[in-house]
A = this chain, B = another copy of it.
Amino acid sequence: MQIRRFYSPQIPVIDDTLLLPESEARHALKVLRLRPGERLLLLDGKGTIAEAELLDSDRTGRTAPCRILSRTLHPAPSPQFRLYVAPPHGKGFDLLLKAATELGVTQISPILCRHAVSKPESVSENWQNVLIAACKQAINPFLPQLDQPAEFKKALENASETSFFGAVPDSHANPLLPKLHTASNLALWIGPEGGFAPDEEKGLLLAGCHPITLGHCVLRVETAVPALLGLIHGLLKAPENL
């Protein structure tokens, strides 16, 4: 059976003990009914993954103390990948957050675009929980940073990535691959289902974004995210960029 995974923002050194966060402890004890002595995998979302052993609970039966058996610090992903995306409505954003986490995106910045149907004012706790669950599922050592939603124009003004792609119609033959490969941080901008407004598209191109598209069909945002991330990885893998 697969070892169960838990999120713990702090992971102590080997042989030290910690208490799982309350919701994780409840899941371990009440839902999964794990017993003392069982092995767990702990992720701190900051690069460390540890193996731990569940110890005896106290008399309340509500805490889950663990002893660290081993721990590994993973190197930060390179290049860092930031996703600027107009949140789709409903469950679409959850699917998108999951896919981005599985594919190693390091930062997710919701942008408020003119043609967007959904314009959330702040990050919901549920989104954070989706990201944590996705990290555990994907065994991703790095929890993506989720920013507060920002107006498109403000987000573009503040963007500092050295190379970035935009899901806008492609008038050029190819993005500038050699330049990309040396970039230590990349960004991908994806608009709402209705697409970027003309002035948003113009702003992206003026700021130097590489336009990318995939196929001839209308893509839902939750498909565009994994497909375009894959496309960029493919462009970066091209032999002259290795």
A223 contacts B104, C-beta separation under 8 Å: no
Bound-complex Cα distance A238 to B177 (A): 9
Confirm or deny: A32 has a beta carbon within 8 angstroms of a beta carbon on chain B.
no
- CB of A234 within 8 Å of the partner chain: yes
Q: A57 vs B242: C-alpha distance in the bound complex, in angstroms? A: 63
What 1/0 flags go to A200-242 for Cβ under 8 Å of B?
A: 0000000000000011111110010011111111111111101
- With the chains together, A227 CA to B230 CA distance in Å? 4
Question: Whose C-beta in chain B lies nearest to the C-beta of A104?
Answer: B215
Q: Return the contact of A238 from the options B139, B217, B223, B238 (Cβ within 8 A).
A: B238
**A173 at the A/B interface (Cβ < 8 Å)?**
yes
> In whole Å, how far is A149's beta carbon from the nearest beta carbon of chain B?
24
Main SS at interface, chain A: helix
Do A237 and B239 form a contact, CB below 8 Å, given A104-B216, A217-B138? no
B230 touches A226 (CB 8 A): yes
Range, interface on chain A: 35 or more
- Proximity bits, A91-106, B CB within 8 Å = 1, else 0: 0000100110111100
Whether the pair A220, B137 counts as a contact (CB closer than 8 A) is yes
Given A214-B233, A227-B229: A102 in contact with B242 (beta carbons within 8 A): no
Please determine whether A139 and B218 come into contact, CB atoms closer than 8 angstroms: yes
Residues of A within 8 A of B (CB): 95, 98-99, 101-104, 137-140, 173-174, 177, 214-220, 223, 226-240, 242
